[in-house]
Amino acid sequence: MGSAWWSGVTDLAQRYGPWAVIAGGSEGVGAAFAHQLADAGINLLLIARNAATLAGVSAEITAAHTVHVRTAVIDLAADDMADKVAASTSDIDVGLLVYNAGAASGPQLVIDQSPDEIMRLIRLNTIGQTLLARHFGQSMAAQGRGGIILLGSMGANAGCMQLAVYSAVKAYTLTFAEGLWAELHPLGIDVAALMIGRTRTPALERSEYGQDSGIPAAEPDDIARFALANLGAGPVLVPPELEAAFLALRAMPRRQAVETMTRALAPQTRR
């Protein structure tokens, strides 16, 4: 892919380089961001738990581009996560954070979920992104430039049966990004919650247990391209094909929104 797709900022590397950190960069949307940022000449630190998939993405990128690629095997839900990420980036200038972690583990009633599973979702989607946004936001503010992308979800618009914890933590992502934008945008930093719907990723495959719900899915490359081309238009980025649904759900009475969300996702949440 060439650089002609970039139309929002004349020089992506100048605005958001020289390094980008992608938390959850081993597959799916995170890997798509990695390839597109490397295409723009930005060096990468990819973070994930799975060393093998991280190594695979790193090898693909270094084979196709001249950028530097580092990997860090870190559990983003661990108590010492922020310290480990800070240590891994202490000698590089990070101009972009993409927080791509936090996919649902699968449809399940709250009363049937284990406490560990619930707390992992909460840590990934609230604590992890907050601490990393704080850490990298400090250095970006000192330089007067940078960008932060937090991966949100259309599920943030209403609670949903069998996805109650997931929709709740994604609502945090949306509101946190809005507040963070209000704080950092005046300092020259672009912040956005990227509100995506069903996307064709390995995480989706795992959450649906290999079943095809029949609901159309977006492609990770398209999602990443849209986000990078529109990052300056934050604090909330909604792909055009989802905008009408996003606005409708936000305007509905809450019970109607919950019932609509639960009904719409029934094919996806049905095991």
The H or E element spanning position 100 is none
Contact 38, 61 (CB under 8 A): yes
Confidence of residue 202 (pLDDT cuts 50, 70, 90): low
Indicate whether 3 belongs to any domain.
no
Q: Considering 99, 166, 172, 209, which one is annotated as catalytic?
A: 166
Give catalytic status of residue 84 as yes or no.
no
Indicate whether 164 belongs to any domain.
yes
Query: Model pTM?
Result: 0.90
Indicate whether 60 belongs to any domain.
yes
Report which of residues 6 and 35 the model is more confident about: 35
**Among residues 92, 56, 89, which one has the least CA distance to residue 74?**
89
Indicate whether 197 belongs to any domain.
yes
Average pLDDT in the 24-29 region?
90
Q: Considering 99, 170, 172, 209, which one is annotated as catalytic?
A: 170
Residue 248 has pLDDT above 60, yes or no: yes
- 23-27, 43-47, 154-158 — which one is most confidently predicted on average? 43-47
Indicate whether 131 belongs to any domain.
yes
Average pLDDT in the 88-106 region?
90
Percent of the chain whose predicted confidence (pLDDT) is above 90: 81
Contact 151, 173 (CB under 8 A): yes
The domain in which residue 23 lies consists of: 9-269
Indicate whether 53 belongs to any domain.
yes
**Among residues 266, 75, 65, which one has the least CA distance to residue 163?**
266
Average pLDDT in the 199-219 region?
57
Overall domain count for the chain: 1
Q: Which residues pair with 46 in a beta bridge?
A: 22, 71
Q: How far apart, in whole angstroms, are the C-alpha atoms of residue 72 and residue 56? A: 13
Give catalytic status of residue 209 as yes or no.
no
Indicate whether 172 belongs to any domain.
yes
DSSP character string of 40-94: TT-EEEEEES-HHHHHHHHHHHHHH--S-EEEEE--TTSTTHHHHHHHHTTTS-E
Sign of the torsion angle spanned by Cα atoms 21, 27, 33, 35: positive
Report which of residues 42 and 209 the model is more confident about: 42
Which tokens go with 150?
A: 């937090």
Indicate whether 1 belongs to any domain.
no
Confidence of residue 7 (pLDDT cuts 50, 70, 90): very low
Q: What is the CATH number of the domain that holds 36?
A: 3.40.50.720
